[in-house]
Structure 1
Amino acid sequence: MAPVKNGQLIFNEIPETYPIPGKTTKYVEKDIDLDTVSLNGGFLVKVLALSSDPYLRGRMRDPSEPSYMPAFKLGEPIEAHGVAKVLRSENPKFKVGDHVVGVMPYEKYTILKDESEFMVVDNTEKLSWTTFIGAAGMPGQTAYYGWKEHADAKKGETCFVSAGAGAVGSLVVQFAKMDGLKVIASAGSDDKVAYLKEIGADVAFNYKTTSTEEVLKKEGPIQVYWDNVGGQTLQAAIDYADIGARFVECGMISGYNGEQNPPKNMMMIIGKSLRLSGFLVGHLHYKYKEEFYRTMPKLLASGKVKFREDITKGLENGGDALLAVQKGTNVGKAIILVADE
């Protein structure tokens, strides 16, 4: 077979604020011969879909800046969770036709080697393959693990979820309702507020047009806060938290793109005996991964847990999907659809 074009979205320039498509990231193409390219013990896959996630902004930095995740390398494809179909393999664990999920480069075809980083998907529930990088993938795991491990939820309590219409927040809203909590949720548009009401939030509001402080003052105090935002939203949650409230610190996107506006009431954490629990999803795989895959696909297939996917078609438009997540214009899980099967 003649060589084909292998599209890639490379990390082109370190951004000062938001990642700009065509500047921060750049789409390029290289030739690849799918029949003859050397696998070196790995397996060649056709990438079907890739994830756009808030945490990727933290990897778009100078490598000298310390962080919990390595920086992307300039001139090389960025990477994130993806789902792909195996075309050729020199690894017996991955057979031609298998669908695999794991962290992979933003490119149409890629050779994967570290078998411990990838899992063959047993899609017995016949979900869309994109679901396995969304509600049945890392974002779903983040919501499921974090809620199970840190919320200590009790029926009748009140929970506040910021960025409640996002890939993680929308699932947390539903987990809280399943556990019998009153749920307050914020989002950044009226369409997202409507979605929050659709998935069961008792109180849903647009933080851009309605005061978070006024809502929490009226509807609180809160016993659980799921934080995806940080900044002034975290400050308001501290102000209106009950004694002994649990804060699940999942993300702080308000400070990811250059603007830093930290809370000024941190002493109240002591005064109110608050428990703040930060976590990374990978640190909890050992405890919840098997349970998650036994439970979550069935909940999604049955409709007991609802989810939305915000699809961007074409890897060449991947930069737009990355920017959308940082600006919060996506509803539900942001996904780049790279190819059909």
Structure 2
Amino acid sequence: MAPVKNGRHLFNEIPVGYPIPGKTTVYDDSQTIDLDTVQLNGGILIKALAFSIDPYMRGMMRPATVKSYVPAYTIGKPLGNSGVGVVLRSENSSFKPGDHVYAYFPFQEYIVQTDVANVRVLENKENLPWSTYVGAAGMPGQTAYIGWKVFSKAKKGETVFVTTGAGPVGSIVAQLAKHDGLKVIASAGSDEKVEFMKKIGVDVAFNYKTTDTVKVLEEHGPIDIYWDNVGGATLEAALDAASNFARFIECGMISQYNETSPYGVKNLWNIITKRLSVNGFLVLDHMAPESTKDFYDTVPAMIAKGDIVFLEDKKYGLEKVGEAILDVQSGKNHGKSVIVVAEE
């Protein structure tokens, strides 16, 4: 077979503020690959089907000298994130052509993966769309499910406040809380997202851009659990509205990711006076086989049955990666942001 184009989406420069499509990241189609003869060196050749676009990717757009919990992207190299693909060729006995696999992959159409330690073969007994496995049945779903099980200590009748309640993590947290018998307060940044939150059972759904978060929590709190995806002034409001011994699950702070001057939370004394439990949470710390087995045994089936409902914001082609990243950072996406590279 003649070589074919192997499009990639590259990290081009470190942004100040919001990443700019075509400047911070750029699409490149200069590379080719011969699918029949490319050396696999004991690995597998994968055709990419879908990639996830997540808020944390902004934190990887930094100088390599700045340390964090994940490595920085390398200028001139492809971006990367969780993805789903199909195996075309294999030199590893654990994988065969036709297997669908999930792992952290570089953003390119075809991938030679020699390190297969963290590559998972997806069974998909429920016959879900493959894009679901980078969203509700992938890392965002794992974040919601595992974080809720490990840290919420939820009791029926309690009240939880979930930020980004229409997003891929927040919406699943809200639904898990409803399944556990909790009252759910949730915020989002548009009236359309508020309507979605109401459809999934949120008891008090509001647009934080047009409604005062402090007043909502004063009326409908106090809160026993706070799932934080935004930080900043919303975290401050939650600290004031917390009941004694409330649990705070600090999963993200997207309101701060593109700021040059971080918001200074002024009421941290509530942590002491209310005896709060504050847990910083990264799903990467909870990826042991027993945790992921429980997730894959449970959540895809819940999705198939309609017990977990989700939205997808699909964009088609690696050319759209920069636009999708900006949408996620600015809150313009409606549901889980997914780049569909190929249908099969």
Shorter-chain TM-score tier: over 0.9
- TM-score, length basis structure 2: 0.98
Once the 2 structures are TM-superposed, how far is the Cα of residue 50 of structure 1 from its aligned partner? 0.3
**What corresponds to 1:81 in structure 2?**
82
Query: Partner of 1:235 in structure 2?
Result: 236
1:294 aligns to what SS in structure 2? Answer: helix
Q: 2:315 aligns with which of 312, 320, 338?
A: 312
The aligned counterpart of 1:297 is 300
Distance 1:139 1:122 in 2: 19
The residue that corresponds to 1:188 in the other structure is: 189
* Superposed CA offset, 1:203-249 (max 9, x none): 00000000000000000000000000000000000010001100011
For 2:111 and 2:12, locate their aligned partners in 1 and report how far apart those are by CA, in whole Å.
Answer: 19
Shift of 1:81: 0.3
Count, aligned residues: 341
SS of alignment partner, residue 115 of structure 1: coil
Q: By how many angstroms is 1:258 displaced?
A: 2.0
More off after superposition, 284-293 vs 169-178: 284-293
Alignment partner of 1:44: what SS?
strand
Q: CA RMSD in A?
A: 0.8
**Is the partner of 1:143 in helix, strand or coil?**
helix
Indicate if the aligned counterparts of 1:139 and 1:168 stay in contact, CA closer than 8 A: yes
Q: Distance in 2 between matches of 1:21 and 1:252?
A: 22
CA deviations over 1:161-210 (Å, ceiling 9, x no partner): 00111100000000000000000000000000000000000000000000
Could you give the per-residue CA deviations for residues 26-75 of structure 1, whole angstroms, max 9, x where no partner exists?
A: 00011111111111111111100000000010000001111111000000
Aligned to 2:117, the other structure's residue is in SS state helix
Name which of structure 1's ranges 258-267 and 300-309 shifts more when overlaid on structure 2.
258-267
Alignment of 1:12-161 (within 5 A): 12-29=12-29, 30-161=31-162
Deviation at 1:262, TM superposition (A): 2.8
In structure 2, the partner of 1:261 is: 263
User: 192-201 or 30-39, which moves further after superposition?
Assistant: 30-39
Residue in structure 2 matched with residue 174 of structure 1 by the alignment = 175
After superposition, the C-alpha distances for 1:283-308 in whole angstroms (9 at most, x for unaligned) are 11225211111111110000011111
Q: Deviations over 1:137-184 (max 9, x none)?
A: 100000000000000101111100001111000000000000000000
Q: Distance in 2 between matches of 1:178 and 1:137?
A: 20
The answer for the alignment partner of 1:279 in structure 2 is 281
Structure 2 CA distance for aligned equivalents of residues 317 and 53 of structure 1: 14
8 Å CA contact 1:47, 1:85 repeated in 2:
yes
User: Which AA in structure 2 matches 1:180?
Assistant: G
Q: Which residue of 2 aligns with 1:209?
A: 210
Q: Which amino acid aligns with 1:9?
A: H
Matching residue of 1:200: 201
CA drift at 1:91: 0.9
SS class of match (1:244): strand
Q: Distance in 2 between matches of 1:197 and 1:210?
A: 16
Moved over 6 A (4+): none
The DSSP-based 3-state class of the residue aligned with 1:247 is: strand
In 2, the alpha carbon distance for the partners of 1:31 and 1:332 equals 33
Q: Name the SS of the counterpart of 1:17 in structure 2.
A: coil
Q: Secondary structure at the match of 1:27?
A: strand
Unaligned runs of 5+ in 1: none
8 Å Cα contact 1:230-1:262 kept in structure 2: no
Name the structure 2 match of 1:164: 165
Q: Is 142-151 or 287-296 further displaced after alignment? A: 287-296
Supply the distance in 1 between the matched residues of 2:239 and 2:3 (Cα, whole angstroms): 58
Residue in 2 aligned with 1:338?
341
- Give 2:24's aligned amino acid: T
* Distance in 1 (alpha carbons) for counterparts of 2:181 and 2:229: 21
* Residue 288 (str. 1) matches residue 291 (str. 2): yes
Identity of aligned residues (%): 57
**CA deviation string 1:305-335 (max 9, x = no partner):** 1111110111111111111111111122110
Report the AA paired with residue 303 of structure 2: L
Secondary structure, counterpart of 1:36 in structure 2: coil
